[in-house]
Amino acid sequence: MAGASTSKSPASNESHSGASSSKSPVEVELQAHHSINIATPPPPRPESDTPVRQQRRIPDLPSSKYLSENERKNYLAFCLPLHKAALRGNWKVAQAIIDECPDIVNVSITKNYETALHIASSTKHSDFVEKLVDLMNPKDLFLQNRNWNTALCLAAAAGTVKSAEIMVGSESRLLKIHGNHNMSPLLMAALFGHKDMVSFLYSKTMSMSDNDWTGRDRITLLEACVSANLYDVALQLLEVEHYKKELALTTDKNALLVLAKNPSVFAGTGQPVCWRLLNTGKLSASELIILYDPVCM
């Protein structure tokens, strides 16, 4: 999401600054919102021992029907007002636009190829999101903007859990569609430190144990959770039988040391996490000594 601001929250400030006097009033008002740019941390570092997930050559973009110069009249009449309605959660206005122009639901309404769902998903207007999803074909939830992000990616980055619940409830495979920098919605939520969003998305991944998740996916998520103090999810990752030893031995040692040095961050226990790892059969005592040095001894 190149060129994004440094703010963690979605761009929703309705600034009129910098507008050209040649633009129509409504276009001037919404000029700042033609692109949703949520700042993202650097992408995960490359991994040498697992194949890099292959992305399509271009994002799965929505139709650009109303973005051409020939459609400028309709763009001003439908796209800009719908964009404004999505930002404000004004379903009454949106419904009137959709009734007049039904295909507006799943086409680009911004220059960054966002649909109305992309716009609304990073706001707190979950009722608006729910009504949009009800009108959309489930396959349209997979549409990406020019930065590769689905609406779920933007909801994950913004921490709008209710909107994420609605979209995942309609199409659970959205969890595995990676966005900007080839990051999953789950990783985006972790990088932004959205605890409730991470907990929800992780609960829907079957503990990241199927073949759609790579070792790198799990490692980067664990390190992101530790960095964001999301220790409960980090520990859940280290408790999955399918990959627990591999994950513990390949994760950055400093991340594990952070967990080992926080004995009281887990509800219901005062044990350092290294002892919990040992007691639940995560690693042998010798492996813990290698990983944690004197911390566990």
Task: Please check whether residue 141 is in contact with residue 177, taking contact to mean a CB–CB distance below 8 angstroms.
Answer: no
| pLDDT value for 58 | 86
Question: Does the residue 281 lie in any domain?
Answer: yes
Of the three residues 171, 204, 237, the one that is the final residue of a domain is: 204
**pTM reported for the whole predicted model:** 0.73
Of the chain, the percentage scoring pLDDT greater than 90 comes to: 49
| pLDDT value for 90 | 98
Measured in whole angstroms, the distance separating CA 107 from the mean position of its chain's CA atoms is: 21
In this structure, the answer to whether residues 146 and 234 fall within a common structural domain is no
141 closest CA partner among 179, 167, 163: 167
| pLDDT value for 24 | 46
pLDDT tens readout for residues 257-282: 566 556 555 555 445 555 555 544 44
Say how many domains are in the chain.
Answer: 2
| pLDDT value for 265 | 54
| Euclidean distance between CA atoms 127 and 133, whole angstroms | 10
In this structure, the answer to whether residues 18 and 58 fall within a common structural domain is yes
Q: What are phi and psi of 107, to 5 degrees?
A: -120, 165
Of the three residues 179, 204, 229, the one that is the final residue of a domain is: 204
Question: Does the residue 158 lie in any domain?
Answer: yes
Question: Does the residue 102 lie in any domain?
Answer: yes
In this structure, the answer to whether residues 268 and 200 fall within a common structural domain is no
Question: Does the residue 139 lie in any domain?
Answer: yes
Specify the range with the lowest mean pLDDT, choosing from 123-137, 206-220, 234-248.
Answer: 234-248
In this structure, the answer to whether residues 34 and 155 fall within a common structural domain is yes
pLDDT band, residue 124 (cuts 50/70/90): very high
pLDDT tens readout for residues 195-216: 999 999 999 998 787 788 888 8
Rama region for 60: left / alpha / beta (φ>0; ψ in -120 to 50; rest): beta
In this structure, the answer to whether residues 183 and 108 fall within a common structural domain is yes
Task: Please check whether residue 261 is in contact with residue 294, taking contact to mean a CB–CB distance below 8 angstroms.
Answer: no
In this structure, the answer to whether residues 145 and 8 fall within a common structural domain is yes
In this structure, the answer to whether residues 50 and 192 fall within a common structural domain is yes
More confident: 260 or 166: 166
- Domain boundaries, position 256: 218-297
In this structure, the answer to whether residues 142 and 239 fall within a common structural domain is no
Question: Does the residue 262 lie in any domain?
Answer: yes
In this structure, the answer to whether residues 63 and 197 fall within a common structural domain is yes
In one-letter notation, the amino acid at residue 108 is S
| pLDDT value for 27 | 42
| Euclidean distance between CA atoms 144 and 132, whole angstroms | 16
CA dist list (Å): 74 to 79, 204, 278: 7, 40, 64
Q: According to DSSP H, which parts of 173-240 are helical?
A: 185-191, 195-203, 215-227, 231-237
CATH code for the domain of 98? 1.25.40.20
Specify the range with the lowest mean pLDDT, choosing from 67-76, 113-122, 235-244.
Answer: 235-244
In this structure, the answer to whether residues 229 and 200 fall within a common structural domain is no
More confident: 240 or 242: 240
| Euclidean distance between CA atoms 98 and 104, whole angstroms | 6
CA dist list (Å): 162 to 126, 128, 158, 195: 6, 11, 11, 13
Of the three residues 204, 234, 269, the one that is the final residue of a domain is: 204
| pLDDT value for 32 | 39
pLDDT band, residue 42 (cuts 50/70/90): very low
In this structure, the answer to whether residues 174 and 248 fall within a common structural domain is no
Question: Does the residue 103 lie in any domain?
Answer: yes
Question: Does the residue 211 lie in any domain?
Answer: no
Question: Does the residue 240 lie in any domain?
Answer: yes
Tokens for 10, please give them. 């979605």
In this structure, the answer to whether residues 187 and 250 fall within a common structural domain is no
154 closest CA partner among 131, 130, 180, 126: 180
